[in-house]
Structure 1
Amino acid sequence: MRLVLTLMVVLLSFSSVAKPLSYYFEQDVKFDPSIPTPKQVLGYEVGEWHVRHDQLVRYMEILADKSDRINFEVIGRTHEQRPLVMLTITAANKLSNIEQTRQAHLARLSNNNDKAQDDPAVVWMGYSVHGNESSGSNSSLLVAYYLAAAQGDEVDELLNNTVILLDPSLNPDGLARFANWANSNRGMNLSSDPKTREHVENWPSSRTNHYWFDLNRDWLLLQHPESRARIAKFHQWKPNILTDFHEMGPNSSYFFQPGIPSRKHPITPDENVTLTKAIANYHAKTLDKNNALYFTEESFDDFYYGKGSTYPDVNGGVGILFEQASSRGHVQETINGTLTFPFTIKNQLLTSLSTFKAAVDNRTALLDYQAKFYNQAADLASDESFEGYVVEGASDNTRIEHFLELLQQHQINAYPLTKSLKADGKNFSTHSYFVPLAQPQYRLVKAVFSEQKTLLIILFTMYQAGH
């Protein structure tokens, strides 16, 4: 009889993991009642089910319709024709002049004497580039609701000092696939057993996009429409902070950058790490306040510039990776205890809000760093022992056409040779192109075209020491 009662208690405790808004937000946060909550649109509490991409888009559309702080935009479409959504969020009086704000932000990058005064910091919030790491996109419902409906001095200060670009789903096709998996394999009474079907997704999983490509490796290659649309928008604004919300194994806790100190790309300025550490203090304070475990400066590197958390580092911004232990469904037993989907969502919300606080407090430093990053390019190029790179284009017109298109998407300048030349023992025809170092994208040119062997030496040394 005692065993039966115990089993009934366990079943009842997992009949639902639904949490109200009061679970996610502090009690003193007041919201505009004219702005619909996620539940009023979805029909369920955030975290009770995995949000479908179409539901996510619909909620963002409604927020933009109801709030004068938000502009809703479709910047592209996936292979499966799902919309790539971008919300531009700022104070209502600034949103009406958003194009003027954007142009002023870019103008500072070519004028080193134009110090940050009242200019807003641009913050890009990117969620769930891996479709089955869905706490990010589900938390974006709450982030968008907060930005649309929260009232008070704190949110007013945020909106007056930032332009927030909110990308609620970096991988719509993957997110849709995983929502279908998690929801269709969810029982009336939830199972926390890691071996149940809900927690063991079939190959090829929902991590990738339609073509099973990892979009978090495509920020440089730009082979997919999701990435091409994103990079175009990135360079329209050149954000000061870009966040990249992920998940990791269920038996971990929570990670935020900086990553392993010895595994930073040598081209990334040290000031970037200084700013990353300053921002990290806000995440630590927030998670400490909420009794959430976390770690930093471990496990994750900042070397490859083709990821969401590193591409900003070579473009004058600060990229920040977040990794939340995943429930991979609605609830799962872990070595740290029971992990619920709402808990994972809340952590992503908390560090979204701490990012906003950090952006406001460090606004001047972020803007001045970015301006210096680009305005120093000419001086850095003049210190090099060579002027640039020559790429032969005569052998394959189609290939060189795609190459030039890729450079253009990254705002890298290339020029056709006006006469043939010989360099490093090689002959280059007038069909070749010259990529100079002396241009605003100096650091990205160096990163793409030069060989970086420092990290390999470090890793080899670490391997030898460990064995």
Structure 2
Amino acid sequence: MKRSFFICLLLIIKQLSLDAQSLPLTYYLPDIDYDKSIPSPEELLGWQIGEWHLSHDLQQAYIRMLAEKSDRITLSEYARSYEQRPLVYLTITSPSNHERIEELRQLHVAVSNPEKADLLRVEDIPLVLYQGYSIHGNEASGGNAAVLVAYYLAAGQSAEIDTLLEKTIILLDPCYNPDGFNRFASWANMHRNTNLTADNEDREYDEAWPGGRTNHYWFDLNRDWLPVQHPESRGRIRSFHHWKPNILTDHHEMGTNATFFFMPGEPSRVHPLTPWKNQELTEKIGDFHAEALDQIGSLYYSKEGYDDYYYGKGSTYPDVNGCIGILFEQASSRGHLQESDNGLLSFPFTVRNQVITSLSTHRAAVALHDEILEYQRKFYQDAAREARAENRFGYVFGTDDDPSRTAALIDLLQHHEVAVHPLGEQLQLDGYTYEAGQAYVVPLQQHQYRFIKGVFDPIDTFTDSLFYDISTWTLPMAFNLPYTELPRAVKMEEALQNVPTATPQAPARSDYAYLLPWTNSQAPRLAYQLQAAGLRLKVATDS
């Protein structure tokens, strides 16, 4: 008993000592040689990752420096947040791959084209891994881990890294949510004590509303992969389809009293359109995470608590696009050091687990390279066969009551690379008349067949009655648009290249006032524009 108490006391003292001093780089990263011409995060910042919370501008400064100094890295900006912070990803691969990066990208994208895929040797094509961090801004361990992972890939000198960079192209997205991430960093740092306070009731761990989870407009960006209503998401989805990654990792945090979760989730809560091979590969990748976490003695769990159902999250959107989505959930210190049911939980410890599982994903990508690329090829080939076997042609939707809603749905579908065609004839289906020029057709025989079924077909029966949060999202219903399945081919025009825009007829000149009907969903936008132009608007209370 005394011996057990003594060991526990030593562990507590060791943890406290780690929290009280700068940690060595080897706490986070393998003890290998690093290119001395490339500064580590500590050398640039003046403090080790985990001592303070990175602000978004410091994170950007560091990764931009890496892109300038390393011939393994290029940087691409894909969007700006509402607060004008850049969203970027690093393309990380071997210098020889960088010399032909566009050729390799096109080869890789061709793997998802059923007409071209059989002509390719997947063993000769780099696997594309998209690693993304901190879509919830106050789940900060991911965004802080990202700079360490980037440094490891930029400066690390080992045969393992050489093989990784030759066989993969890593797209490292250090911060999905810059505005929320920066908001939380300010909160955590302004309440940090010189002598860290672990009391759960300390102000540091009671973040003021609205907190850093959401973006500038308090929207949860991890529910926006499907709706793509915000610039962060719209840019990210464009980048996703530009590359068609094979694996996408999504690094999160959860309650302080938990441990560490990685996919797969609940087996009974997987969307029926997701091939079971996806879950098998997810589990194989999970074996690498388990081994890595075992080596450092971190607690973890899998196959419970989280699901793989709603296609609008970072860990499930990839699943309907021939990719493997991986969710990581780290127990959150929500500051620098907090008491938990599992002992003291320090911010450096949470960062370390995110780094370790980022690197274990690298090892899985190399080991399973051919199998994962073959899965992507087969995903789209099988989808094409299923589409040809369908007894339906597709779907028709649209209304003349509010063409703005129709245009908004078309815009959403085009972001997900769904072909939409103007209807070329009048149709009467299910008691509704669809007019040419006002309605649109989405054929099922296209490469996004499974995605289309996932967002058009309502599902009302489930294997498991429990869900993490969302179980249904039929998009035409969400836009309050009439839509109908098409049992046969219909006359339609060429696929749209741009979202249709209506040109309203100018009203007759009035010497008194104009009435603006509120039935069009764009009416509020027009009202704001009129006010910005100096016009005075009044609300009519009588018809």
TM tier, smaller:
over 0.9
Residue 386 of structure 1 pairs with residue 389 of structure 2: no
CA 1:432–1:158: 2 relative to 1, 3 Å: same
What is the number of equivalent residue pairs in this alignment? Answer: 451
In structure 1, distance between residues paired with 2:466 and 2:293 = 35
Query: SS where residue 126 of structure 1 aligns?
Result: strand
Q: Which runs of 5+ in 1 are unaligned?
A: 1-8, 462-467
Pairwise CA distance, 1:375: 2.0
2:117 is aligned to: 112
Residue 39 of structure 1 pairs with residue 42 of structure 2: yes
Q: Retained in 2: the 8 A contact 1:251–1:325?
A: yes
Q: Which has the higher contact order (CA 8 A, sep 6+)?
A: 1
Residue 88 of structure 1 pairs with residue 91 of structure 2: yes
1:22 is aligned to: 26
Alignment of 1:179-218 (within 5 A): 179-218=185-224
Residue 263 of structure 1 pairs with residue 266 of structure 2: no
In structure 1, distance between residues paired with 2:121 and 2:390 = 28
Alignment of 1:390-401 (within 5 A): 390-401=396-407
AA partner of residue 62 (structure 1): M
2:459 is aligned to: 452
In structure 1, distance between residues paired with 2:158 and 2:84 = 39
Matching residue within 95, 99, 102 for 2:102: 99
Query: SS where residue 464 of structure 2 aligns?
Result: helix
Pairwise CA distance, 1:12: 7.8
Q: Retained in 2: the 8 A contact 1:15–1:189?
A: no
Pairwise CA distance, 1:371: 1.2
- Using the aligned pairs only, state the percent identity: 52
Residue 442 of structure 1 pairs with residue 446 of structure 2: no
In structure 1, distance between residues paired with 2:42 and 2:403 = 54
> C-alpha offsets along residues 197-234 of structure 1, whole Å, 9 cap, x if unaligned?
11110111110000010000000101100000000000
AA partner of residue 23 (structure 2): K
AA partner of residue 49 (structure 1): W
Q: Retained in 2: the 8 A contact 1:12–1:189?
A: no
CA 1:416–1:15: 2 relative to 1, 3 Å: closer
Q: Which stretch shows the higher mean deviation, 266-275 or 395-404? A: 395-404
Pairwise CA distance, 1:108: 2.2
Q: Retained in 2: the 8 A contact 1:30–1:151?
A: yes
1:356 is aligned to: 362
In structure 2, distance between residues paired with 1:460 and 1:229 = 32
In structure 2, distance between residues paired with 1:340 and 1:433 = 54
1:338 is aligned to: 344
In structure 2, distance between residues paired with 1:418 and 1:383 = 24
Pairwise CA distance, 1:399: 1.8
AA partner of residue 105 (structure 1): H
Alignment of 1:25-174 (within 5 A): 25-27=29-31, 29-110=32-113, 111-113=116-118, 114-174=120-180
Q: Which runs of 5+ in 2 are unaligned?
A: 1-12, 468-543
CA 1:11–1:413: 2 relative to 1, 3 Å: closer
Aligned-pair RMSD on alpha carbons? Answer: 1.6
> C-alpha offsets along residues 62-99 of structure 1, whole Å, 9 cap, x if unaligned?
00111000001211100000000110000011112211
Q: Retained in 1: the 8 A contact 2:112–2:322?
A: no
In structure 2, distance between residues paired with 1:446 and 1:240 = 21
In structure 2, distance between residues paired with 1:279 and 1:78 = 32
Name which one, 1 or 2, has greater alpha-carbon Rg. Answer: 2
AA partner of residue 88 (structure 1): T
The answer to which structure has the higher helix fraction is 1
2:376 is aligned to: 370
> C-alpha offsets along residues 418-455 of structure 1, whole Å, 9 cap, x if unaligned?
11112234321102111011110000000000012233
Pairwise CA distance, 1:460: 7.0
Pairwise CA distance, 1:376: 2.2
Pairwise CA distance, 1:17: 5.3
Pairwise CA distance, 1:25: 2.0
AA partner of residue 43 (structure 2): Q
Q: Retained in 2: the 8 A contact 1:17–1:340?
A: no
In structure 1, distance between residues paired with 2:384 and 2:193 = 61
Pairwise CA distance, 1:298: 0.6
CA 1:11–1:402: 2 relative to 1, 3 Å: closer
Alignment of 1:251-290 (within 5 A): 251-290=257-296
Pairwise CA distance, 1:14: 8.2
Q: Retained in 2: the 8 A contact 1:18–1:342?
A: no
CA 1:390–1:192: 2 relative to 1, 3 Å: same
AA partner of residue 33 (structure 1): K
Q: Retained in 1: the 8 A contact 2:19–2:346?
A: no
